[in-house]
Structure 1
Amino acid sequence: MITLALDTSTPYLTLALRWPGGELESTERIERAHAERLPGSVQALFAEAGLDFRAERLVIGSGPGSYTGVRIGASYALALARVWQAELLGVPTLCALLSRQPGLQAPALDARKENVYGALYRVEESTVTELSPPEKYTQADFAALAQDRGAELRQDAVPSGLSLIHAAGTLAQGQPQLRLSYL
């Protein structure tokens, strides 16, 4: 099965492809140029992988993020899913900040005014488990929560499309109903 992941809710354009026998990802900081860069970047990723422009599954980072950024990615993914008749799964953008190393992880995104949007996850080789749902915290409170739980704090890490695919495929993170969230 060919899976395309994309996330446009952060200043990064995050893309990944996984197919039988391979995987490829691209993450580029583009600030607010998602609408201009997304279609061409997705086509270029398929070309680099040597694949036809078609996937059976799409995974989208569903936020939190800027209203415009989240909507750009969601609109593009919904359109591709309809055209390709592909499955579409939504995964919290915080999952894109998870490393693939096993353990407790506390990903967080800047929510302005000394706040973060964060959650706690247990990452294992074959599963990602949400221990606390994404919500808004003060930076200090979230750092203390991560420390108390012995979790690796991953604040403003560079997002990974392959981490989105991993989270979507391992548990109830991949939601067939797309629920978008905004900072």
Structure 2
Amino acid sequence: MELPITLALDTATPYLALGLLTPHGEFSWRQEVDRAHAEALPGAVQALLGEAGVDPRQLGQLVVGTGPGSYTGVRVGASYALGLGRAIGAAVVGLPSLESLIDAGTEGEQAVSLDARKGQVYGAVYRVLGGVVVEEVLPAAKYPRETFAAEVGGRLWRQDPAPDALVLARSGAARGRSDWQLQYL
């Protein structure tokens, strides 16, 4: 069974990250936009779809990074995905933005975190197989940095990396949630 053409987007960090899975390849786009997600998102989606030769009406699924992130940032991404999904009749699923921070080329358990200020991090530990998160080993939550570091132990720990929306697209296609909620920093 062929998976639907999937567009993933993440606006939870200072980056705007897009990933597109099609039967003829994978396409991605990422740029640091600081707080200009709303201004950059429509044109970036249009450019990515154009590069892939995909009409927006061909999209079968949208995957949105649900945060944690800035209040405005995550709402921009979610609003855009919900609006586009409704307009074209595509399903919209969500996954934690922390999943977009994994190193898709590294198998096994790995930790990811975003700085939450004041000695805190938003972090999680995931088990990754084939470039896809298959298990949440340590739940995504806000932790004191020292507590999270102790939990990470000797695992690979990616701190504040740029997101990879292709990871969200792949994981969303495999196990995206329709009952998602946004998380704010």
For the aligned pair, the TM-score class normalised by the smaller chain equals over 0.9
| Correspondence for 1:176 | 178
Alignment partners' CA distance in 2, 1:49 and 1:24: 7
Q: CA RMSD in A?
A: 1.2
151 and 167 in structure 1: CA distance in 2 versus 1, 3 angstrom threshold: farther
Give, as a single letter, the amino acid of the residue that structure 2 aligns with 1:144. Answer: A
Q: Which residue number corresponds to residue 118 of structure 2?
A: 113
Per-residue deviation, residues 96-139 of structure 1 (Å, max 9, x unmatched): 00111211011101111121000110001165211122111112
| Residue number in structure 1 paired with 2:142 | 136
8 Å contact kept, 1:103–1:151: no
2:165 aligned to 154, 161, 168, which one? 161
Residue 53 (structure 1) shift: 2.2
Q: Deviations over 1:116-175 (max 9, x none)?
A: 00011000116521112211111222122111xx4210111110001111222334xx11
Aligned to 2:56: 53
Cα deviations across residues 33-64 of structure 1 (Å, max 9, x unaligned)?
A: 00110001100100111211231100000000
The answer to whether structure 1 residue 77 and structure 2 residue 56 are counterparts is no
Q: 2 CA distance for matches of 1:168 and 1:131?
A: 18
Q: Give the TM-score of the pair, scaled to structure 2.
A: 0.93
**SS state of the match for residue 82, structure 1?**
helix
Aligned counterpart for 1:12 among listed residues 15, 18, 34: 15
C-alpha contact (below 8 Å) 2:66/2:97 kept by paired residues: yes
Alpha-carbon distance between aligned partners in 1 of 2:34 and 2:75, rounded to the nearest angstrom: 15
- Provide the rounded CA distance (Å) in 2 between the counterparts of 1:155 and 1:118: 9
Q: Distance in 2 between matches of 1:83 and 1:119?
A: 34
Q: Distance in 2 between matches of 1:153 and 1:68?
A: 27
Instruction: Give the aligned residue type for 2:61.
Output: R
1:22-61 aligned within 5 A: 22-54=25-57, 55-61=59-65
Equivalent position amino acid for 2:40 in 1: R
Select the residue among 90, 94, 97 that pairs with 1:93.
97
Gap regions ≥5 residues in structure 2: none
In 2, the alpha carbon distance for the partners of 1:17 and 1:11 equals 20
The 2-side partners of 1:50 and 1:132 are apart by 39
Whole-angstrom distance in 2 between the partners of 1:170 and 1:75: 22
CA contact (8 A) 1:128 1:170 kept: no
- The alignment covers a number of residue pairs equal to 179
**Normalization by structure 1: what TM-score?**
0.94
